[in-house]
Amino acid sequence: MNGLLAGVNVGGTTTSVVLGTRDGTILERHAWPTQANDGAALYAAVVDALRALSSDVTAVGVAIGGPMDARTGIVIAPPHLPGMHGFPLRERLRADMARPVTVHHDAAACALAEVRWGADRGVGGLAYLTCGTGFGAGLVIDGRARYGSQGFSPEIGHVRFRDDGPDVFGKPGSFESYGAASALPKLARRRDPSFDARTGEEVARRAAAGDPIAQAAIADNVEAVGAACALLADLLVLDVIVLGSLATYMGEPWIARVHDV
């Protein structure tokens, strides 16, 4: 099939729409803050952005934070997108865009992109850890995104890492409460309640400048991300694990520390 493709990423912090070709070339990209608490407004903004793209778009792919039922494209109680609870995203977009629409959990979509267009294209078993607003895992095995029997992506962020720790969604000590970029300020404030950085990037900058509280928070994070990688590798015998958001601004030193856990 010829024509262009549209991609949508609905994250807990940022929503983006891209126009691209089938070989993975991005032609346009538009991004804006996610209206996480207002599902109707969030959806309307996505539709408006898609309609502003080329009329040559032949299909739409959507990545969104879970839980999400990949069988139906219905978003179910996502902690970082409360306004989207119960939203029939695939059905609505198919009707409004009059084009084929596929909806994947965001981590699964990232894993598929890595296998198709990334440095490790074609590998048999790959996991992608988001390490962003949330801490999700996407699995591609033998070329297919893998979901559980209920259509959910593996929720490694809900697995308990420690018996205590920050409480993200009612489960203190979960991997998400340590491994997500959004967890870094909370980890720092556990040591010093006056610590005022609000984003993972700001914590990273302070750590690089020698702030011991920020450095300790990153050490906790590294231990959790490394443990999550080891758990996935041991259980699933994967070829590659790809790290998301945190890796983009923490760089190779952080990746090497995670690898060494």
d(CA 118, CA 134): 22
Read off the amino acid at residue 27.
L
Spell out the domains of the chain, with CATH numbers in brackets: 4-99 (3.30.420.40), 110-260 (3.30.420.40)
**Angle 31-45-200 (CA atoms, 0-180°, nearest 5)?**
40
Q: pLDDT truncated to tens, each residue of the chain (261 aa)? A: 568 999 999 998 999 999 999 999 999 999 999 999 999 999 999 999 999 999 899 999 999 988 999 999 999 989 889 999 999 999 999 999 999 999 999 999 999 999 999 998 989 999 999 999 889 999 999 999 999 988 998 889 999 999 888 887 778 899 999 999 999 999 999 999 999 999 999 999 999 999 999 999 999 999 999 999 999 999 999 999 999 999 999 999 999 999 999
- Identify the CA nearest to 183 among candidates 167, 205, 160, 196: 167
d(CA 65, CA 238): 23
d(CA 29, CA 76): 27
Please give the model's pTM, rounded to 2 decimal places: 0.90
d(CA 18, CA 67): 23
Residue 172: cis peptide before it, omega within 30 degrees of 0 = no
- Identify the CA nearest to 138 among candidates 242, 15, 56: 242
